[in-house]
């Protein structure tokens, strides 16, 4: 396994809709294993493949004691509404309150290519929706009010004006976010 480089805000792949996979092959499984390792090192609760530069509908989750990969994930139903603070490994040190459905029913393929279904709420449901957004080229910033978003983006640009690169090596001991 190996640590992958994170793509940060500004990387075009974060704004693309990632296409479905025909199935899970050994290459996909290697990607999943590397994504788990990268997410762990970055102390994230979730990671989508385009965050490591791969435009495929693959994501991994480690939240509330549940750890799983999802390939071609789809939300079958959503229910309720809850607001909580979110962050993103692709937008370090930026946080904002995001309202989302509180409970979801997820269908996806697992690491072995087997279909599974999951009914979850709380942090896992939030993490799943955050990662599914990534696969559609959506960032949590897009859910904030325009004013709040512009404020955070202005601060981000100021802090990154001397560092135009959008690739980041993952090092241990960063804050835990998705
Ligand atoms: Ni994220």
Residue 159 appears among annotated catalytic residues: no
Q: What pLDDT, on the 0 to 100 scale, is given for residue 106?
A: 98
Q: What pLDDT, on the 0 to 100 scale, is given for residue 4?
A: 95
CA distance 90 to 168: 9
Q: What pLDDT, on the 0 to 100 scale, is given for residue 113?
A: 97
Single out the catalytic residue among 37, 66, 107, 131: 131
CA 82 – ligand 1 centroid, Å: 18
CA 90 – ligand 1 centroid, Å: 6
Tell me which fold the domain 6-168 belongs to.
Peptide Deformylase (3.90.45)
Give residue-wise pLDDT tens across range 20-55. 999 999 999 999 999 999 999 999 999 999 999 999
**Is 167 or 142 the better-scoring residue by pLDDT?**
142
CA 52 – ligand 1 centroid, Å: 11
Domain residue spans of the chain: 6-168
Contacts 24+ apart (CB under 8 A), 141-146: 141/91, 141/94, 141/96, 143/96, 143/98, 143/99, 143/100, 144/96, 144/97, 144/98
pLDDT at 169 over 60: yes
Give residue-wise pLDDT tens across range 117-156. 999 999 999 999 999 999 999 999 999 999 999 999 999 9
Q: pTM of the full predicted structure?
A: 0.93
Sheet containing 46-48: which strands, arranged edge to edge? 46-48, 58-63, 66-79, 103-109, 115-121
Q: What pLDDT, on the 0 to 100 scale, is given for residue 176?
A: 55
CA 49 – ligand 1 centroid, Å: 10
């Amino acid at each position: 396994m190996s640590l992958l480089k994170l793509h940060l805000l500004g990387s075009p792949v974060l704004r693309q809709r990632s296409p479905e996979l025909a199935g899970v092959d050994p290459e996909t499984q290697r990607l999943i294993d590397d994504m788990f390792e990268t997410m762990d090192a970055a102390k994230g609760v979730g990671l989508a493949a385009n965050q490591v530069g791969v435009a495929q509908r693959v994501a991994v989750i480690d939240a509330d004691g549940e750890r799983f990969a999802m390939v071609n994930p789809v939300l079958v139903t959503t229910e309720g509404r809850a607001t909580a603070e979110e962050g993103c490994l692709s937008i370090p040190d930026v946080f904002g309150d995001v309202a989302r459905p509180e409970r979801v029913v997820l269908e996806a393929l697992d690491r072995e290519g087997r279909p599974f279904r999951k009914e979850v709420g709380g942090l896992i449901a939030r993490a799943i929706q955050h990662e599914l957004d990534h696969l559609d080229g959506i960032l949590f910033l897009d859910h904030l009010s325009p004013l709040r978003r512009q404020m955070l983006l202005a601060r981000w640009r100021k802090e990154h004006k001397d560092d135009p690169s959008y690739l980041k090596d993952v090092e241990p001991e960063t804050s835990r976010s998705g």
